[in-house]
Structure 1
Amino acid sequence: MTGSTAADHAVAARPAADDPATDNGAAEVLIRREGRAGLIVLDRPAALNALTHGMVRRIAAALEEWERDDRVETVVITGAGGRAFCAGGDIVAIHRAATGGDPSAVEEFWRDEYRLNARIARYGKPYVAVMNGIVMGGGVGVSAHGSVRIVTETTRLAMPETGIGFVPDVGGTYLLALAPGELGTHLALTAGSAGAGDALRCGLADHFVPGERLPALLDDLAARPVHDALARHVAPAPPAPLDGQRRWIDACYAAGTVEEIVDRLRDCGEPEAAKAADRITANAPAAVKATLAALRRARALGPLEAVLDQEYRTSCAALAMPDLAEGIRAQVIDKDRAPRWNPATLEAVAPAVVARYFAPLGDRELGLATTTPLERW
C-alpha cells in the first residue's frame, strides 16, 4: 500500500459498534458498518496482515451477519499498515505442526479458511477487495474470489507456495487454471508474482485504481452503489509485461511434464525463459510436480468447491511431507535461503510421491462439493 486509507483510520478510531464477530481475531480484524458498506480491515501490519485462524473466523462471522443486514449493501475488505493487503497465512504455526506438533489445529484452520474462500465467491452482496501492496497465499483467498477486485500501482500478487514445499491453495489452483493460456502455470511453478497489469490480464483482478484515489473510493463506497463509486475512480490499466511473453510461456508450459517444461524453457532462447527454468528447479521438486498435476486436474474439476476439496487433500498431504517444514525453515525461520529438498531433483520424484498429494482422506475430506450452501456455512 501507499499508506493507510482514510477509511482505515476511521474504522480504527471508533468503537466496534455493530460488530457481529467475537473471538480471538478481534484485535487483528477491524469490523465496522460505514454508511451502506460493511468494512473489514485486516490489522496485523507488523505481520503484513497475515491471516490467523481467529481472523478467518471473525471475517466469516461478519459476512454471515451482514448477509442478513439490509443496512449493509456492500462489503469492502482492505489491509492496514501501508505495505500489504495480506501476505498469506500464519506459516510459523504451520511449521510447528509440520515438525512434530498437532496437525489437527492447522487442518481445522484450512477447513475454515477454504470454506470462507467459497463463501466469498458465492456471496450475495458485492464484495470489494482492495488489493493494495503485497497479496500472497491466503491473501489471494480473501480477495481474488470477490466480485469486485481492485489493484493499484503497488500491488504484487503471488501464489509462492512451491518455494516453501507447498501447493497453491485457497482456490489458487482454480484461479490460476483459468488464467489465459499458460500464464497461471508459469506463475505457479516459478512462485512468481504479478503486478497490477498482469493481475488484470490473468483474471485475478477487475479494476485499476491509483493508490492516491483509494481514500475517496472508500468514502464513495460507503455512500454510493458500487458501480457508481467505481466510475469516479477507475483508471486505465497499466501494462502487463507477461503479455509480451505469451509466445514462449504458452509453448513451453504446454508440455506434459515439469522436466519437459524446464527443457523447453532452457532451449527456447529467451533470457526470461531461462530465468524461469532456474526458478522452477530451485523450488521444491515434489511440490512443483504436484502443483502441475493440481492445475491440470483443476481445469476438469468444475466449480471452485471441487477444487478446494482437492486443495484440502494436497495441503494435508504436504503437512506430512518433509519439504514443507524445510521450506519454511529456509525461507522464514533461519532465512538461509538454502532448503534441502527431499527428493532433491525433479527426476527423483516418483509418480507415487505425486499421487500421495491427491490420496482420499476418508472422513477427513473437506466435502464442499457435496454439500448445499446452507450446509457449508
Structure 2
Amino acid sequence: MTARVTTPSTGGEAPVLLRTAGRAAHITLNRPRAINALDHTMVRRIDEALTAWEHDPAVESVVITGAGERGLCAGGDIRAVHDDVRDGDGTASAAFWRDEYHLNARIARYAKPYVAVMDGIVMGGGVGVSAHGSVRVVTERSKIAMPETGIGFVPDVGGTHLLALAPGELGTHLALTGARIGAGDALLCGLADHYVPSASLPRFVADLADLPVREVLERHVRPSPEGELAGQREWIDPCFAADTVEEIVQRLLDHGTPAAKETAETLLTKSPTALKVTLAAMRRARRLGSLERVLEQEYRVSCAALTAPDLIEGIRAQIVDKDRDPRWSPGTLAEVTDADVRRFFEPLGDRELGLVR
C-alpha cells in the first residue's frame, strides 16, 4: 500500500519523520547519531502529530520507531540541559520538561492504539515516549533503563510511576541502580507487553498498514527469552525494602550474594543526593497513584535539580568531559540531610506542571 507522507522532511534530516501508511500513522525519531535523543522540537512535533491523528478517522493506530540500528531513543538531550544550566538559568530545560511530561501523560491516555517498538536502546526520555503506550513491543536487542542517578538526576518522564508498579522491589532496584534490562525483565516489570524477534519487525510494522493491531500481534508475537530479575528477587526484595539508602546498601553488603555486593558497590558510585531523592520519589509515587500526580511530583524534582550541583556535574563527567569521575556534592550519603531531600519536593506555585487541577 502506498504511504502518504504527512509532513515532508528537509533532505531526510528532520529530527522526527511523520507519515501514514494504510491504517497506521508512523512517528520515526530521526537523530540516529545521537541514538534519537529527544529535544524540545521533537517533543512538540510528536504532540502536534498526535493531535492531528487523533481526529483523523483514517488513522487507526500510531506507531513509534527509531531511525538507525542502535535503538529507539537514548533519552533526552542532556548536553542541552547542561549548557542551559551552565550558561543560563535552566528556564529552557524546565520548559522542555513541561512539554515532555505533558506528552508522556497524553501517550498514556491516547484514544487509539499507540504501538511502541522498543528495539535496541530505550532509556530515560525514550521510556517516556514508549512505555506509557498501550502496545509496547520489545525484542532480543532491547536494552531498557532509567539511568538518571548516574548523572545526578532522578528518574522522570513518569518513570517513577512505572517502576513503582513493578513486582516487589524490582522498581526500586532499577530506579536506584539505573541497571539495563532486556525483554524478559521488561515484561516482568510491566514496562512492555509483547516480545517480537527483531528480524520480524519490518513485517510487523508493514502489517499494521492493512490489519488491526490485535491481528498483527497474533501473527508476530513469540515467547520471550528468560530474564534475570525473577531469580534475583530473593535478595533484591528484602534489601531494597529498607527505609533509607544507607540501610539498602548495608543490607546488600551483608547479604552474602556476590550480585548483592556488586549492586552495593554500584550504588556507591551514584550521586548520593540523587539516590536519596529517588528513593523518596519512588515511595511517594506508590501513594500518589495516578500517572498525572506522579508527573507533577517529578516536575518539582526536576526543576529543583536545576539548582543543585550534581546534575550539571554528572552530565559533565559522563557526557561532556567523559572522565567518568563525577565529584558529587555532598560526596557521601551521610552528608545528605532529610531537609536536603525535602527541598526537591517543594511546591512550585504558579510554575506547577498543571496536569492535576
TM-score bracket for this pair, using the shorter chain length: over 0.9
Cα distance between partner residues in 1 of 2:236 and 2:87: 40
- State the match for 1:129 in structure 2: 116
- Identify if the C-alpha distance between structure 1 residues 80 and 26 changes in structure 2 by more than 3 Å, giving closer, same or farther: closer
- 1:177 aligns to 2:158 (yes or no): no
- State the match for 1:252 in structure 2: 239
Q: What SS is found at the alignment partner of 1:66? A: helix
- 1:186 aligns to 2:173 (yes or no): yes
Q: Please, which runs of 5 or more residues in structure 1 have no aligned partner?
A: 1-6, 371-377
Cα distance between partner residues in 2 of 1:259 and 1:239: 32
Q: 1:342 aligns with which of 329, 332, 337?
A: 329
Are the aligned partners of 2:9 and 2:17 in contact in 1 as well (CA < 8 Å)?
A: no
CA-to-partner distance for each residue in 1:41-65, whole Å, 9 max, x for gaps?
A: 0010001000010000000000000
Query: Which one-letter code corresponds to 2:258 in the other structure?
Result: P
Structure 1 stretches of 4+ with a deviation exceeding 4 A read none
Q: How much has 1:22 moved relative to structure 2?
A: 9.8
Q: What SS is found at the alignment partner of 2:248? A: helix
Q: What SS is found at the alignment partner of 2:18? A: strand
- State the match for 2:213 in structure 1: 226
CA-to-partner distance for each residue in 1:104-141, whole Å, 9 max, x for gaps?
A: 11111000000000000000000000000000000000
Cα distance between partner residues in 2 of 1:234 and 1:365: 41
Q: How many residues are treated as equivalent by the alignment? A: 356
- 1:112 aligns to 2:112 (yes or no): no
- State the match for 1:290 in structure 2: 277
Are the aligned partners of 1:285 and 1:345 in contact in 2 as well (CA < 8 Å)?
A: yes
- 1:302 aligns to 2:315 (yes or no): no
Q: Please, which runs of 5 or more residues in structure 2 have no aligned partner?
A: none
- State the match for 2:154 in structure 1: 167
- State the match for 2:6 in structure 1: 18
Q: 1:216 aligns with which of 185, 194, 203?
A: 203
Q: What SS is found at the alignment partner of 1:222? A: coil
Aligned identity (percent) is 65
Cα distance between partner residues in 1 of 2:87 and 2:22: 48
Q: What SS is found at the alignment partner of 1:368? A: coil
Query: Which one-letter code corresponds to 1:313 in the other structure?
Result: R
Q: What SS is found at the alignment partner of 2:122? A: strand
Query: Which one-letter code corresponds to 1:18 in the other structure?
Result: T
Q: What SS is found at the alignment partner of 2:144? A: strand
- State the match for 1:323 in structure 2: 310
- State the match for 2:129 in structure 1: 142
Q: How much has 1:26 moved relative to structure 2?
A: 7.7
Q: How much has 1:194 moved relative to structure 2?
A: 0.7
Cα distance between partner residues in 1 of 2:354 and 2:283: 20
Query: Which one-letter code corresponds to 1:57 in the other structure?
Result: R
CA-to-partner distance for each residue in 1:311-330, whole Å, 9 max, x for gaps?
A: 00000000110000000000
Cα distance between partner residues in 2 of 1:213 and 1:288: 39
Are the aligned partners of 1:74 and 1:126 in contact in 2 as well (CA < 8 Å)?
A: yes
CA-to-partner distance for each residue in 1:1-20, whole Å, 9 max, x for gaps?
A: xxxxxx9xx97xxxx7333x
- Identify if the C-alpha distance between structure 1 residues 312 and 180 changes in structure 2 by more than 3 Å, giving closer, same or farther: same
- State the match for 1:43 in structure 2: 30
- State the match for 1:373 in structure 2: none
Cα distance between partner residues in 1 of 2:22 and 2:222: 25
- Identify if the C-alpha distance between structure 1 residues 125 and 292 changes in structure 2 by more than 3 Å, giving closer, same or farther: same
RMSD of Structure 2 on Structure 1 (CA): 1.6
